[in-house]
Amino acid sequence: MSGGWRARGLGGLGPVAAVAGAGVALAAVFASAQRARGMPLSLSAYHELREAAISAVTAVFPARAVGFPVGQWLGHAFLSPPFFFATAAILLAEWAWPVNPEQPLLSPSFVHDLVWYLATIGGFVLVGGWLYEHLRGLYQAHLRSLGIGVLPAGPAWLSVLAGIVVGDLFAWLHHLVRHKVRLFWLFHEVHHAQRNLNAWTNERVHVVDVLIAVSIQTLPLLALGVPTTTAGAYVVAAAWYTRLCHANVRSHFGFLRHVLVTPQSHRLHHSARPEHADQNFGVIFSVWDRMFGTLSRDVDVYPETGLTDPTFPVERGYGDVVCLRAFLRQQIHPFRAMVALLRKRT
């Protein structure tokens, strides 16, 4: 563990301190505003103030196509102290136990994938939510008789836990399908193109890939009786957990790897080596890969990651990132590959 500390030095903590400091400053601003308004220092008061600030800003943009992403960016990132604290915690883990000590904490890849995160919460969530609502309407109107409602009755925490387990099983399934179906893979490979894994690589997912995942997962979850709120709890839990598992962190969590996906096991999933292809599809729990024979037995290997396709438009520096050149090319690339595939088959 100390090898990473020596390689980076205490100076490498600068980005960690900057991100954590932003969270502290933002929390202080909210606390000051609560005191100025005579409000108690509580989470409910914080949420009330934050929602008021978001509403005031989004009211300037009457068009939903603009107001929605702005609201998402403010609520989930720029006006969210937990966003900064959780990001700082992952950066600290990358500084302390890196797979690649030479990879900067705030590398072009990190910033590029953060752009993908902003695109995801700003637009892709809206598109995915639209599809989910239409699929739920289809289920309620025509397929409700197929429902079996297997989630246990009882305390709310038990229902949420069961929903997370069931949701993770179907997340494993749609992940597997997106690898095995060639047409789906053309969009999913955008996620696998990252050569420098980082916390935001988890959000580097093409919008068509999002729609495929939602389409595969939604109807089974509805048939099994998983409430929308529980499905939402799974999405939140999986999002931050998988950010850690995508990070440049050298750890397999010891004995916990027998139950949980780890940074090491998920790095194998992103491996550029052919012997690791199509393994470790789990999102939170590793038990599904163990049950269905897709678990890699390499527990101490930290391979290079990315695609071997030389035509894929990877980001090569901050210039590609700032002007969104790489992001836009990565949006278009799967469609070009799809056309080439269809021409080859005709």
Mean pLDDT value across the chain: 89
Q: For 314, which DSSP code?
A: -
How many Å separate Cα 96 from the centre of its chain? 22
State whether 291 and 240 are in the same domain: yes
Q: What is the mean pLDDT of residues 125-130?
A: 82
State whether 235 and 324 are in the same domain: yes
Those residues whose C-beta lies under 8 Å from the C-beta of residue 163, and which sit 6 or more positions away, are: 151, 226, 227, 230, 231, 233, 234
State whether 26 and 112 are in the same domain: no
> What is d(CA 266, CA 246) in angstroms, rounded to the nearest whole number?
7
Q: Considering its fold, how many domains does the chain have in total?
A: 2
The pTM of this model reads: 0.89
State whether 88 and 139 are in the same domain: no
State whether 36 and 123 are in the same domain: no
3-state helix/strand/coil string of 221-247: HHHCCCCHHHHHHHHHHHHHHHHHHHC
pLDDT band at 11 (very low <50, low <70, confident <90, very high): low
pLDDT at 9 over 70: no
Contact (Cβ atoms closer than 8 angstroms) between residue 16 and residue 91: yes
List pLDDT tens digits, range 215-263.
998 888 888 777 777 777 777 778 899 999 999 999 999 999 999 999 9
> What is d(CA 44, CA 119) in angstroms, rounded to the nearest whole number?
28
State whether 116 and 181 are in the same domain: yes
State whether 52 and 115 are in the same domain: no
Those residues whose C-beta lies under 8 Å from the C-beta of residue 256, and which sit 6 or more positions away, are: 262
Q: Nearest to residue 194, comparing CAs of 336, 338, 334, 330?
A: 330
State whether 114 and 66 are in the same domain: no
State whether 341 and 196 are in the same domain: yes
97, 123, 147 — which closes off a domain? 97
Residue 150: count of CB within 10 angstroms of its CB: 11
Phi, psi of 149 (to 5 degrees): 45, 65
State whether 7 and 150 are in the same domain: no
Domain encompassing residue 294: 105-345
pLDDT at 7: 55
The helix (run of H) or strand (run of E) holding residue 171 is: helix 156-180
Q: What share of the chain is helix, strand, coil (3-state, %, to 5)?
A: 70, 0, 30
97, 120, 141 — which closes off a domain? 97
Report how many helices (DSSP H) and strands (DSSP E) the chain contains, helices first: 15, 0
State whether 120 and 82 are in the same domain: no
Contact (Cβ atoms closer than 8 angstroms) between residue 111 and residue 118: no
pLDDT at 54: 94
State whether 110 and 91 are in the same domain: no
pLDDT band at 2 (very low <50, low <70, confident <90, very high): very low
Q: For 274, which DSSP code?
A: G
Residue 234: count of CB within 10 angstroms of its CB: 23
Q: Nearest to residue 327, comparing CAs of 169, 114, 146, 140?
A: 114
List pLDDT tens digits, range 260-299.
999 999 999 999 999 999 999 999 999 999 999 999 999 9
Start-to-end CA distance of the chain, whole Å, equals 54
66, 97, 128 — which closes off a domain? 97
Q: For 153, which DSSP code?
A: P
